[in-house]
């Protein structure tokens, strides 16, 4: 009778697991995520959706504002009431910063009275229609101007073929 370690005919359950490659992969992924996290920027633009929400339930004595880009240096403001255009204002400038200043002045002159910060009219919904030549930064800057003038129900429309 031969004896095999006192366990009889049972097989040994000890085995070696090589974790070196797994640790290498894990450390590489960790380094990649830590380095790439530097370039992640989280930014938000707080606006409400212009159609399909409670925006339609605003005051009946309010106007709609359409902001249509003709090109990056020129845009048109259309003030509408009940779907009919009441007033149209052209805004032109040689630079993007100049256009934003003129846009702010044009919107402010329509909304606020000259002698005080009291509102003359209420803007219920604003829609922005950019052309394909208008870059993303210019669009966001125009949205910022609308937000500074307390217009929160904003929609962005696409102008197909423009």
| 30 belongs to a structural domain | no
Report the predicted TM-score, pTM, of the whole model to 2 decimal places.
Answer: 0.59
User: How far is CA 120 from its chain centroid?
Assistant: 29
Identify the domain containing residue 52 by its residue range.
Answer: 48-156
Question: Is residue 137 predicted with pLDDT exceeding 70?
Answer: yes
| 109 belongs to a structural domain | yes
Q: What is the pLDDT of residue 29?
A: 94
pLDDT tens-digit series, residues 31-58: 998 888 877 666 666 666 656 555 445 4
Contact predicate 58/70, CB 8 Å = no
Q: How confident is the model at residue 25 (pLDDT cuts 50, 70, 90)?
A: very high
In total, how many domains does the chain have? 1
Per the prediction, the chain carries an average pLDDT of: 79
| 161 belongs to a structural domain | no
Q: What is the pLDDT of residue 58?
A: 47
Distance (Å) of CA 153 to CA 53, 114, 130, 139, 160: 9, 24, 17, 16, 22
The domain spanning residue 148 has which CATH number? 3.30.420.40
| 9 belongs to a structural domain | no
| Positive or negative torsion for Cα 107, 112, 117, 122 | negative
| 27 belongs to a structural domain | no
| % of the chain with per-residue pLDDT over 70 | 76
Task: Determine the Cα–Cα distance for residues 139 and 142; give it in Å rounded to an integer.
Answer: 5
Question: Is residue 162 predicted with pLDDT exceeding 70?
Answer: no
Backbone phi and psi for residue 11, each to the nearest 5 degrees, phi listed first? -85, 150
pLDDT tens-digit series, residues 51-106: 655 544 545 578 888 888 888 888 898 888 888 888 888 988 888 888 888 888 88
């Amino acid at each position: 009778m031969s004896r095999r370690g006192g366990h009889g005919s049972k097989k040994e359950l000890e085995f070696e697991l090589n974790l070196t490659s797994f640790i290498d992969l894990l450390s590489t992924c960790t380094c990649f995520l830590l380095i790439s996290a530097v370039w992640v920027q989280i930014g938000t633009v707080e606006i409400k959706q212009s159609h399909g929400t409670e925006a339609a339930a605003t005051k009946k004595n309010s106007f709609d504002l359409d902001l249509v880009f003709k090109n990056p240096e020129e845009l048109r403001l259309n003030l509408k009431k009940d779907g009919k255009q009441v007033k149209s204002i052209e805004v032109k400038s040689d630079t993007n910063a100049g256009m934003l200043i003129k846009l702010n002045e044009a919107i402010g002159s329509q909304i606020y009275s000259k002698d005080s910060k009291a509102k003359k009219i209420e803007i219920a919904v604003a829609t922005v229609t950019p052309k394909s030549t208008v870059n993303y930064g210019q669009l966001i800057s125009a949205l910022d101007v609308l937000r500074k003038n307390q217009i929160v129900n904003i929609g962005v429309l696409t102008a197909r073929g423009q």
